[in-house]
Amino acid sequence: MSATSAVTMDIEKARFNMIQQQIRPWEVLDPEVLKLLSVVKREDFVPTEYKDLAFTDVELPLLAKGDPSQTMLEPRVEARMLQEVAVKNTDTVLEIGAGGGYMAALLAAKAEFVYTVDIEPALVDMARQNLARAGVANVSVDLGDAAQGWSLYAPYDVIVISASLPFVPETILRSLKVGGRLVAVVGEAPAMHMQLITRTDEDAFTTVNVLETSVAPLINARQRDKFVF
């Protein structure tokens, strides 16, 4: 066996273990999602210095220097978010927080088109390069601050916020189509929940707390007003 073949086998074993040991126990059982996690190569969206950690159950730094909250979500968080929003092939998707482009690639494999936005120019460049190298054509990576929403292409069928925030602003909720779904990690450490929010009509939303978790905060996320006595 050649060295290249051995490395490939090691990577595929690590990917298999990630799915079986981290992701399935988090009740990610949708066969389409599990297949995507096997097909979309997570290691191709991880910074070179962290490729050995591509399949570990930790948030990975995306920038050698810069805001420490600029991280790649844990694999199980990405997978559960993907399962919860149940993307269809006719959906237009907004992702807030492009990171290295991995979640956008997963979403794009199921959606008609994905718009992903990041406030950090270096990450916009990284995501564009990673997606192009992976041959993902139905994603647009924009530079900007989408902490209050991204109205440019609204309304959206699906919104994924790849970071945490104290609450989901009305401006983001209102950019969902009726029937649209949003997934985000909501709250403040240590009490955060992954939430699935569905717009049921023009003025009504339902919220389901999916599970407890904790992820890095979204830059410039609006904070709750503090009471002063």
For residue 27, count other CB atoms closer than 10 A to its CB: 13
pLDDT (0 to 100) of residue 222: 84
pLDDT over threshold 60, residue 10 = yes
Residue 57, helix vs strand vs coil: coil
Q: Per-domain residue ranges for the chain?
A: 3-212
119-167: pLDDT as tens digits: 999 999 999 999 999 999 999 999 999 999 999 999 999 999 999 999 9
pLDDT (0 to 100) of residue 190: 83
Q: What region, left, alpha or beta, does residue 220 occupy, with left being phi > 0 and alpha being psi -120 to 50 degrees?
A: left
Confidence of residue 193 (pLDDT cuts 50, 70, 90): very high
pLDDT over threshold 90, residue 202 = yes
Give the fold, CATH level 3, of 3-212.
Rossmann fold (3.40.50)
pLDDT over threshold 70, residue 67 = no
Confidence of residue 68 (pLDDT cuts 50, 70, 90): low
